[in-house]
Amino acid sequence: MLREQSNTIAVRQYTDSVKTMAERHGVDPSTVRRWAATGVVSAIRIGKSTLRIDPDSLKAEPIGFAA
């Protein structure tokens, strides 16, 4: 039996700034930049200094996170 395959492609929305993500999670912006550098959140760099974060990429708080 053949299965019908979906042609849907998931598209990430890199909408959050470092500041917005930091405020949402109650952490310092340097923590969000570290999360991006280590792959905890999905992020893209625009130009030399702008970093945009996919707000859905952080499903749960990282291990060791204390609010």
Residue 40 located in a structural domain:
yes
Residue 51 located in a structural domain:
yes
Instruction: Tell me the pLDDT of the chain (67 aa) as tens digits.
Output: 556 666 666 667 888 899 999 998 899 999 999 999 998 899 999 998 899 999 888 866 655 555 5
Number of independent structural domains in the chain: 1
Place of tokens 């859905």: 56
* pTM of structure: 0.70
Residue 44 located in a structural domain:
yes
The DSSP secondary-structure symbol of 39 reads T
> How many C-beta neighbours within 10 Å does residue 8 have?
6
Task: Return d(Cα 45, Cα 49) in angstroms, integer.
Answer: 7
Residue 8 located in a structural domain:
no
Residue 1 located in a structural domain:
no
Residue 22 located in a structural domain:
yes
The residue range of the domain holding 51 is 16-55
Residue 67 located in a structural domain:
no
